[in-house]
């Protein structure tokens, strides 16, 4: 897991602007001093919602930052890029050619962690190192469970003020919940003979 540092000043407008499709798939608009950063492009068809929210905020979209390349996180990227000539797209170096890796964004200005699928918050905080019953899709798509657990530990070590995941509501003061999720995942993976290869409930 790469934690990306993006150096831009925070605008006078604060708060998390969350767009959620079906209450399950999230995108975020983050105010910056020069406009908006969109974190994740969502499912196909989400571009119109993202563009409408930007218009309502009265701010231009300057960049799109992808946590990873699952279809529910980059499905509207092409439509957004077509609607926003010259928009900057930020992805991890490893996934840039194929969009096949994972990345998280930690906003040091207000302590918000945009965690992609490293954690989900649907009906409680969980790490996708295992397949939580509350929201199994992110865990089912994890390609290396040991690496995912290590990423979750790294992100928890940042002690975020709030957790904005790719799936579920924004969670304030998530430290204890993240620690519990990591411990639960570690226990399940210890019982698994090959945690990197097969999902475990």
Those residues whose C-beta lies under 8 Å from the C-beta of residue 52, and which sit 6 or more positions away, are: none
Report the C-alpha dihedral over residues 59, 99, 126, 192, rounded to 10 degrees. Answer: 180
Domains and CATH numbers, the chain: 2-191 (3.60.15.10)
- The distance from CA 27 to its chain's CA centroid, rounded to whole angstroms, is 8
What is the largest distance, in Å, between two alpha-carbon atoms of the chain? 53
Choose the weakest-confidence range: 72-76, 155-159, 187-191, 197-201: 197-201
Residue 9 has pLDDT above 60, yes or no: no
Residue 10 has pLDDT above 60, yes or no: no
User: In the Cβ-directed half-sphere of 185, how many Cα atoms lie within 13 Å?
Assistant: 30
When mean pLDDT is compared over 78-87, 92-101, 127-136, the highest value belongs to: 78-87
Tens digit of each residue's pLDDT (9 = 90 or more) over 50-79: 999 999 999 999 999 988 777 777 788 889
Tens digit of each residue's pLDDT (9 = 90 or more) over 115-160: 988 998 988 999 988 877 776 666 656 667 888 899 999 999 999 9
């Amino acid at each position: 897991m790469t934690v990306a540092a993006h150096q831009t000043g925070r605008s006078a407008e604060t708060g998390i602007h969350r767009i959620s499709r079906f209450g399950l798939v999230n995108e975020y608009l983050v105010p910056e001093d020069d406009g908006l950063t969109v974190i994740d492009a969502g499912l196909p068809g989400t571009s119109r919602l993202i563009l409408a929210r930007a218009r309502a905020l009265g701010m231009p979209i300057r960049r799109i930052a992808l946590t990873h390349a699952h279809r529910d996180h980059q499905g509207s990227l092409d439509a957004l890029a077509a609607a926003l000539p010259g928009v900057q797209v930020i992805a991890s170096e490893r996934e840039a050619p194929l969009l096949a890796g994972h990345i998280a964004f930690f906003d040091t200005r207000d302590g918000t962690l945009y965690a992609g699928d490293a954690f989900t918050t649907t009906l409680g905080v969980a790490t996708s190192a295992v397949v939580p019953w509350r929201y199994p899709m992110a865990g089912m798509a994890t390609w290396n469970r040991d690496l995912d657990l290590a990423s979750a530990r790294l992100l928890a070590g940042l002690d975020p003020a709030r957790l904005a995941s790719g799936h579920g509501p924004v969670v304030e003061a998530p430290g204890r919940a993240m620690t519990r999720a990591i411990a639960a995942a570690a226990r399940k993976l210890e019982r698994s003979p090959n945690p990197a290869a097969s999902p475990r409930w």
